[in-house]
Structure 1
Amino acid sequence: MLTEEGKKRRDALDAEIAERIAAFKVEQREMLEQLAEVGVNVDMVNQLPNVPTSDYVQALPILMEHLRREYSEGTLASLARSLATKEASGYWDELVAMYMASPDRPSKGPGNLAMALAAAVAAACPKDRLGDLEALVKNQRLPHRVLLLTPFKKRRGRDPAVASLIEELRHDPALAKEIARWKILASQANPRSH
């Protein structure tokens, strides 16, 4: 059971969240109307990352258009997370440019745009651009690089070049902990001598 002080803190937090949600709905009104025109009906764009991409793939151009605009950090992060899908591969170069600029961009309130852009860059990376993604994951100036590992993790057992890259990245302090958690694949296991 909460103390009186605990109840006051919870009520203040609930009020802050309600205020933020109301602001998102006002800020996103035009975008939500455009989404509804293509059959995507949500109360806030912040809900889209929790929806299967197949339910809103027709809205990707609208989402990208709005990601280029000035919104709160929370709305921009939600837009970027909504584009964290292979279906957004046509926007990959622009997502990369935004991600590369993110360390120099001042934060505007709650939300983490740089993290969301890193997720979008990884998910939308075309197969023929893995070399470019490799350069990004090695760029220690960029934030949240650990999220860029996802495409490599999926390919490490099938591609010797990717397996070699993972071995190299094991020594990067920002990536080592994540890589160490990965299950060792049969193709990576050292054969035992008898």
Structure 2
Amino acid sequence: MVTEEGKKKQAALQAEIAKRVAGYKREQEQLLGELASVGVHIDMVNRLPMVPTKDYVQAIPILARHLRKTYSEATLESLARTLATQEAKQYWDELVEMYRSNRNRVREGSGDFTMGLAAAVAAACPPGRLDELIELVRDTELPHRVLLLTPLRKRRGKDPKIAQLIDELRHDPALAKEINSWKILSKQATSRTH
């Protein structure tokens, strides 16, 4: 049973959420109109990362353009996460530049723009640019580097160079927990020395 104090806290939380959502919708009016003009009908962009990319691929240029505008941290994170797809690979250089230039960004409110950028950089990485992604993973000054591991994890069983890199990164304090949680592939089991 919820106490009166619990009900008040719950009501205050719901009011705060409603206020935040209304703010997102207000700041996104122009963006939502542009998305609707290409057939993407949503009530706020923060929901778009939960939609399959095939349902909004035609809107990727609009989303990439709006990523450079001034929005709340949560909206910027959502915009970046909408670009966490191979269909956004033509924007990879821009995403990397934004990720690097926002490395010391101070978060304001809910959301984390640099986290969204890290996810976008990893997912949109063109196959021929893995060496550059590896440079980013090794840059200990970048936030959320663990998110950059996804494309490497997928290729570690196919590429001995990446398998060796993963073994090296296994000792990086920011990456060790994630890497050590991965299943050891049979090829790795024989090559590991520790």
TM-score, length of structure 2 as denominator length: 0.96
Aligned partner letter, 1:172? D
Paired position in structure 1 for 2:45: 45
Secondary structure in structure 2 of the residue aligned to 1:188: helix
Pairwise CA distance, 1:187: 2.1
- Unaligned runs of 5+ residues in structure 2 are none
**Equivalent position amino acid for 1:139 in 2:** D
Distance in 2 of aligned mates of 1:104 and 1:172: 20
The residue aligned with 2:20 is 20
Equivalent position of 1:117 in the other structure: 117
* Equivalent residue runs for 1:48-127 within 5 Å: 48-127=48-127
Q: Distance in 1 between matches of 2:2 and 2:139?
A: 47
Q: Which moved more, 1:105-114 or 1:157-166?
A: 105-114
Deviations 1:98-153 (A, max 9, x none): 11122222323210101110000000001111101101001110100000000000
Deviation at 1:9, TM superposition (A): 1.1
The residue type equivalent to 1:110 in the other structure is S
Counterpart CA distance in 2 for 1:103 and 1:155 is 26
Identity percentage over the alignment?
64
Point out where structure 1 has 5 or more consecutive residues left out of the alignment: none
Q: TM-score, normalised by structure 1?
A: 0.96
Code of the aligned partner of 2:157: G
